[in-house]
Amino acid sequence: MIDQDLRDRILAEPDVILEDRDVMSALIGANERRMGSNIVDLRGIAMERLESRLDRLEDTHRTVIAAAYENLAGTNQIHRAILQMLDPLSFEDFIKAIATDVAATLRVDCVRLVLESVQESEDPNVRKLGQTLIVAQPGFVTDYVSGGRNVPLRPVVLRQVLPDSDVLYGERAGWVRSEALMKLDFGTGRLPGLLALGAEDPHQFRPTHGTDLLAFFAGVFERTMRRWLG
């Protein structure tokens, strides 16, 4: 016989039993065993299928919510980086900002801005900006992003670092393992540029990741650079 205290509690709060999935499953299983092996409980089968479908829906729901939070966090991160990029009032401060504050906000370990020019500049003002700004010969951006292959270039490329990355990262090439490459369009009559974000984590930038936020960031970066190049 069931304990009287437990029986009284169940009678007083039957909803507690109905809301407990494990208890209900045990009760249904006991009922099926009493019916015998020659009886098929279609209602029980239907409930099992519904429970399985509910589990899948709950997993999907959790995945969608996690993706939404991740996307919101990424959007806020890009917005903060853009505000930091718009603060400087001189080109020198702008370069320093993308190498420090913007890099920290985007959680990358290295930032490189490549500007193509017919002649590589030896201007001391350029050298004063450090390794962040690189002046390269025309065609460098296409060659580096494509890896020397004849393939269509996408606006944003995410990948693990290639063996010849030392031309871009210099002494830091030994520990930069993945990169985000954003080709920059500075307008009609101007050579293209490249913004490269390097990370020590080999999985931080992967081809399977979305690029919409980085494409937006690159668009703002292009328009900001046109002000300095104008």
* Residue 103: partners with Cβ closer than 8 Å, 6 or more residues away: 109, 110, 111, 197
Per-residue confidence band for 111, with pLDDT thresholds at 50, 70 and 90 = very high
The amino acid at 90 = S
Between 24 and 138, residue with greater pLDDT: 138
DSSP H or E run through 55: helix 42-86
Specify the pLDDT at position 12.
83
Mean per-residue pLDDT, 122-136: 69
Specify the pLDDT at position 122.
53
Instruction: With a cut of 90, say whether residue 62 has pLDDT above it.
Output: no
Token pair recorded at residue 8: 């009284």
In the chain the domains, ranked by start, together with CATH numbers, are 89-229 (3.30.450.40)
For the entire predicted model, the pTM comes to: 0.68
pLDDT 10s digits, 2-34: 777 877 777 788 777 777 777 777 777 776 666
Mean per-residue pLDDT, 174-184: 91
Give the Cα separation of 140 and 56 in Å (integer).
Answer: 49
Between 208 and 215, residue with greater pLDDT: 215
The amino acid at 147 = G
Specify the pLDDT at position 200.
92
Mean per-residue pLDDT, 102-114: 93
Specify the pLDDT at position 103.
93
Q: Are 218 and 182 in contact (CB under 8 A)?
A: yes
